[in-house]
Amino acid sequence: MKNLLSMEHLSTEEILHMLSRAAAFERGEAAALQRTYHVANLFFEPSTRTKTSFEMAERRVGCEVIPFDAGFSSALKGETMYDTVKTLEMIGIDAVVIRAKEDEYYNELLEGINCAVINAGDGAGQHPSQCLLDLYTIHKEFGHFEGLNITIVGDISHSRVAKSNATALTRLGANVRFLCPAEWAGNFEAAHSWDEVLEDSDVIMLLRIQHERHAVSKNFSKDSYHEEFGLTPERERRMKEGAIIMHPAPINRDVEIADELVECERSRIFAQVRNGVFARMAILETILKERN
Among 2, 49, 140, 291, which residue sits at the site for a copy of itself (rule: CB under 8 A)? 49
Alpha carbon 5 to chain centroid, angstroms: 12
Among 13, 27, 28, 69, which residue sits at the site for a copy of itself (rule: CB under 8 A)? 69
Residue 252 and residue 82: Cα distance in Å, rounded?
36
Q: Which of 22, 58, 99, 4 is nearest to 274 (CA)?
A: 22
Among 13, 212, 241, 265, which residue sits at the site for a copy of itself (rule: CB under 8 A)? 212
263: number of CA atoms within 13 Å, CB side? 1
Q: Which is nearer to a copy of itself, 99 or 177 (CB)?
A: 99
Eight-state DSSP code of residue 149: E
The yes or no reply on residue 114 touching a copy of itself (CB under 8 A) is no
> Where do the H-state alpha helices sit in the chain?
12-26, 48-60, 81-91, 128-142, 160-171, 222-229, 233-238, 269-288
The residues near 101 (Cβ < 8 Å, ≥ 6 apart) are 44, 45, 123
The yes or no reply on residue 263 touching a copy of itself (CB under 8 A) is yes
Residue 38 beta carbon to a copy of itself: minimum distance, rounded to whole angstroms:
7
Among 2, 9, 17, 86, which residue sits at the site for a copy of itself (rule: CB under 8 A)? 86
Among 271, 286, 289, 291, which residue sits at the site for a copy of itself (rule: CB under 8 A)? 271
Among 251, 254, 264, 286, which residue sits at the site for a copy of itself (rule: CB under 8 A)? 251
Q: Contact at 8 Å (CB) between 150 and 161?
A: no
Taking the CA atoms of 118, 135, 261 and 257 in sequence, report the sign of the dihedral they define: positive
The yes or no reply on residue 24 touching a copy of itself (CB under 8 A) is no
The yes or no reply on residue 216 touching a copy of itself (CB under 8 A) is no
213 among annotated binding-site residues: no
Residue 89 beta carbon to a copy of itself: minimum distance, rounded to whole angstroms:
8
Q: Site map for a copy of itself, 123-162, x if CB under 8 A?
A: ----------------------------------------
The residues near 54 (Cβ < 8 Å, ≥ 6 apart) are 41, 97, 118, 120, 129, 280
Residue 208 and residue 257: Cα distance in Å, rounded?
10
The residues near 110 (Cβ < 8 Å, ≥ 6 apart) are none
Q: Which is nearer to a copy of itself, 103 or 270 (CB)?
A: 270
Alpha carbon 107 to chain centroid, angstroms: 20
Q: Which is nearer to a copy of itself, 81 or 190 (CB)?
A: 81
Q: Which residue stretch of 13-21, 100-108, 197-205, 262-270 sits at the interface with a copy of itself (rule: CB under 8 A)? A: 262-270
List interacting residues with a copy of itself (CB under 8 A): 38, 40, 43, 46-49, 51-53, 55-56, 59, 64, 66-69, 71-80, 83-84, 86-88, 90-93, 112, 211-212, 249-253, 262-263, 270-271, 273-274, 276-277
Binding annotation: 49-50, 77, 99, 127, 130, 160, 208, 249-250
Binding annotation for L-aspartate: 77, 160, 208
